[in-house]
Amino acid sequence: TMGFALGSVLAVLASGFTPAQPPNVLIILSDDQGWGDWEINCDNSTGYCPHTPHLMDLATKNGSVYFHRFYAAAGICSPTRSSILTGRTNERDCMHTALPCCSEDPAPTCAMGAGGALPTDSFTTGTAAKNSPLGNYATLYVGKWHLGDLWNKNIPHMHPTWPVSNPGLVGFDKWIATQAEASNSMSNCGCFPVNHTNPGPKPPSGYPTITPHGDRCVVGGGVFSDWCYPCTDYYYANQTDLRNVTALADIGVKIPGDDSVFIVNTFAAFLDDFAVDQSRPFLAQLALHGIHEPHPA
């Protein structure tokens, strides 16, 4: 099961076993992807499954281990994310269901902690890596968080015990994350509003309340338009910001294309920095917003 497999990662990181070269660990988590939603076992109601040649290669090449019964802790977002990080059942951290996304509203106005938060004293893959006898791991978290508020917003309904729960508080040196959701394409396009007097036609979208305040955003079907999702942005730790976090839009960074490419490119930049100092192993978790459809997640 997933608990056993992630527990094994935690056990290796925390054990006294010392291999010749401490292993690097990369965890890639897709969002709400069904068992049949990839190429190796396409089995869904439409029969249209994504082409996943790289996953096929990983699953079938010599030396790979493919788990046929690697169960998620839950069929929805937050509980699974909690169990991935802790290696134990989500119920232990009171993650019973997906935390509120406030109808896709931007993070500053959404008290996600009203539904729960990952306790910051949890023993996670990040904390295991930072305290591993194998070495002081460099740790990175990129992508969707959905486990609590990234900063204390001082608004009603914040979590009473953990008003702040972000990757930096559970063992990750570097992190850049959305609080909960983002579009699979041009994820923070809606953070750069334009006042359109004559917007073009509304494009196809699974999210019914998109509005015409964007600038060549993509919301569905690969169509560039003036219509876009709300401002769902990425945040990163910044001690010079009064919130202790800064959004990409705050510094004028507009993600130009596919969100998954942005996540992978961020990881690639981390590897470039890491290559300068290879005396430390690394642990990285990439939490994709894909393959969730038809609305941003």
The model's pLDDT over 232-253, given as tens digits with 9 standing for 90+, comes to 899 999 999 999 999 999 999 9
Residue 18 binned pLDDT confidence (cut-offs 50, 70, 90): low
- What pLDDT, on the 0 to 100 scale, is given for residue 50? 73
Between CA 24 and CA 8 the distance in angstroms is 14
Q: How far apart are CA 272 and CA 50, in angstroms?
A: 30
Q: b/e for 55-79, b at 16 or more Cβ within 10 A?
A: eeeebeeeeeeeeeeeebbbebbbb
> What's the whole-number average pLDDT of the chain?
86
More confident residue, 142 or 7: 142
Is the pTM here over 0.85, yes or no? Answer: yes
pLDDT at position 5 is 47
Residues 20-37: tens digit of each pLDDT = 788 999 999 988 877 777
CA distances for 238 relative to 43, 130, 235, 246, angstroms: 44, 20, 9, 6
Coil, helix or strand at residue 235: strand
Q: Are 87 and 278 in contact (CB under 8 A)?
A: no
Query: What does the pLDDT read at residue 9?
Result: 59
Per-residue confidence (pLDDT) for residue 19, from 0 to 100: 64
Read off the tokens for 115: 């539904």
173/170 Cα distance (integer angstroms): 9
- List all residues 6 or more positions away from 108 whose beta carbon is below 8 Å from its beta carbon: 153
> Mean pLDDT over residues 38-61, rounded?
77
Per-residue pLDDT at 8 exceeds 60: no
CA pair distance 103, 29, nearest whole angstrom = 23
Provide the pLDDT confidence category of residue 40 given band limits of 50, 70 and 90.
confident
Query: What pLDDT is stored for residue 28 in this prediction?
Result: 92
The answer to whether 251 and 191 are in contact (CB under 8 A) is no
**Reported confidence tier of residue 15, pLDDT bands at 50, 70, 90:** low
Q: For residue 271, what pLDDT is reported?
A: 92
Using the structure block, give the residue that is written with the tokens 């993600």.
255
**Tokens read off for 91:** 């119920």
For 268, counting Cβ atoms within 10 Å of its Cβ (0-12 exposed, 13-18 middle, 19+ buried), the class is exposed
Mean pLDDT of 94-114: 89
- Whether the per-residue pLDDT at 17 is higher than 60: the answer is no
- Which pLDDT score is estimated for 1? 35
Angle, CA 266 vertex, CA 15 and CA 293 arms, to 5°: 95
Residue 26: predicted pLDDT: 93
Sheet strands (E) in the chain: 25-29, 138-144, 174-178, 217-218, 224-225, 234-237, 245-247, 282-287
Residue 227's Cβ-side half-sphere holds a number of Cα atoms within 13 Å equal to 17
Distance separating alpha carbons of residues 184 and 162, to the nearest angstrom: 29
Question: Does residue 16 register a pLDDT over 60?
Answer: no
Which is higher by pLDDT, 85 or 209? 85
Q: Are 123 and 156 in contact (CB under 8 A)?
A: no
User: For residue 282, which amino acid is it?
Assistant: F
